[in-house]
Amino acid sequence: MVRLALLGAGRIGRVHARAISMVSDVHLKYVFDPMADASRGVVDAYGAISAPIEDILDDSEVDGVLICTPSDQHADQIKRAIKAGKAVFCEKPISTDLDMTRQVLEVVNKYQGCLMLGFQRRFDSHFTALKARLSEEAIGSLEQLLIISRDPSPPPYPYMRASGGLFKDMMIHDFDMARWLVDERIVSVYATGGALIDEKTRTEGQDIDTASVLLTTETGKQITILNSRRAAVGYDQRVEAHCANATLQVNSVRETNLVVSDRSGIGESPLENFFMTRYQEAYRREMEHFVECLKVGRTPLVTGTDGLEALKLAEAARESLGMQRPMSLLDA
């Protein structure tokens, strides 16, 4: 029986608590959250014990820790948990700062710790099916990759301000997806972006809401990422991999398979409207993978290095947007 602790019982923390409950042979022993209401929900639903971080890390029965606290606490908590000998699953980002991220990875390295990062899309069955096909020889080599990610609606301005910006908060998932799918060094990033949905995104959120980014890899593969904070039809997340012998696509997931055909045309269901619904199954498989790695001492599919590399791309995109020219990643 694997015993885990949850730090942070907010929205995404509860998603992981639920995911844990569906993995066999695992028990969520502790939950930590300064908000009593938040932790109580997890206590009630899964029989976890509410405890301060110190006690959790001191309990030798605890095998692993899930860090779902606000982003600016991640780095410190990872280091403490790793030093305490716990395996760590951390929601992205490790930090929005590159140097801090590198420091954390050094600690992980030094202690030979296990750190898994929460890029859940890698565990989504649609994308894993794409990844599997991409590696088939008959498909031929990848030439153009297109990733479209559009959220149903923008987050609040304070969230934007604290998030590190669209590139680090939202497109970072696409950067990781790109790295995972092309499986090759990305050497340049050119970003365009603006506050096209809402001018206050810039003034109040100190952010952009719409971005189009072009990356190239060392062998010249072309990667396009389109992001928007708002899509009327719902949570729109697509990937297209154009290869020598085939073009592979993962389309967005619709709410239902109902089709209503009337005078105005053929109407299919809107898309899933929330990333937690869209990726519910991926969160479960992600947690299964973490537990599996923890049990057998395997390196997770998504490591701290993946977090660092995606952050570098986000940082480069931010700089490119500011300087209006492509940034090289060769010396990064």
Of residues 260 through 279, those in contact with its own copies by CB under 8 A are 260-271
How far is residue 255's CA from residue 248's CA, in Å, rounded to a whole number?
22
Which residue in 60, 161, 259, 292 binds its own copies (CB under 8 A)? Answer: 259
Which residue in 205, 252, 309, 316 binds its own copies (CB under 8 A)? Answer: 252
Closer residue to its own copies (CB): 222 or 303: 222
Q: How far is the CB of 295 from its own copies (least distance, A)?
A: 18
Which residue in 76, 155, 326, 332 binds its own copies (CB under 8 A)? Answer: 326
Angle at CA 304, nearest 5°, toward 299 and 308? 145
The answer to whether the beta carbons of residues 151 and 228 sit under 8 Å apart is yes
Q: How far is the CB of 123 from its own copies (least distance, A)?
A: 13
Interface with its own copies: number of residues (CB under 8 A): 71
User: Which segment (53-61, 66-74, 78-86, 240-248) binds its own copies by CB under 8 A?
Assistant: 240-248
- Please tell me whether residue 242 binds its own copies under the rule CB under 8 A: yes
With a CB cutoff of 8 Å and minimum separation 6, the contacts of 313 are 172, 175, 178, 179, 186, 189, 215, 329
- Within positions 145 to 174, which residues make up the interface with its own copies, using CB under 8 A? 146, 148, 150
Which residue in 55, 76, 143, 288 binds its own copies (CB under 8 A)? Answer: 143
Rounded to 5 degrees, φ, ψ at 32 are -125, 130
Looking from the CA of 197 toward its CB, the CA atoms found within 13 Å total: 20
Nearest to 169 by CA among 200, 207, 122, 226: 207
How far is residue 125's CA from residue 282's CA, in Å, rounded to a whole number?
7
Q: How far is the CB of 251 from its own copies (least distance, A)?
A: 5
Q: How far is the CB of 19 from its own copies (least distance, A)?
A: 12
Would you state the structure tokens that stand for residue 140, as one six-digit string?
A: 């031929």
- Within positions 113 to 142, which residues make up the interface with its own copies, using CB under 8 A? 125-126, 129-130, 133, 139, 141
Which residue in 30, 121, 228, 275 binds its own copies (CB under 8 A)? Answer: 228
Closer residue to its own copies (CB): 35 or 244: 244
How far is residue 255's CA from residue 271's CA, in Å, rounded to a whole number?
5
Would you state the structure tokens that stand for residue 241, as one six-digit string?
A: 């991999």
With a CB cutoff of 8 Å and minimum separation 6, the contacts of 314 are 164, 167, 168, 171, 172, 175
With a CB cutoff of 8 Å and minimum separation 6, the contacts of 321 are 167, 191, 192, 193, 208, 211
- Within positions 17 to 46, which residues make up the interface with its own copies, using CB under 8 A? 22, 24, 45
In the DSSP assignment, the letter for residue 254 is: B
- Within positions 80 to 109, which residues make up the interface with its own copies, using CB under 8 A? none
- Within positions 179 to 198, which residues make up the interface with its own copies, using CB under 8 A? 188, 190, 192-194, 196-197
User: Which segment (104-112, 161-169, 174-182, 214-222) binds its own copies by CB under 8 A?
Assistant: 214-222
User: Which segment (2-10, 99-107, 108-116, 249-257) binds its own copies by CB under 8 A?
Assistant: 249-257
User: Which segment (70-78, 112-120, 164-172, 225-233) binds its own copies by CB under 8 A?
Assistant: 225-233
Closer residue to its own copies (CB): 38 or 239: 239
In the DSSP assignment, the letter for residue 139 is: G
- Please tell me whether residue 206 binds its own copies under the rule CB under 8 A: no
Sheet holding 210-217, edge to edge: 236-243, 142-150, 222-228, 210-217, 186-194, 327-328
Q: How far is the CB of 150 from its own copies (least distance, A)?
A: 7
The answer to whether the beta carbons of residues 23 and 82 sit under 8 Å apart is no
Would you state the structure tokens that stand for residue 161, as one six-digit string?
A: 């301000």
| Identity of the amino acid at 205 | G
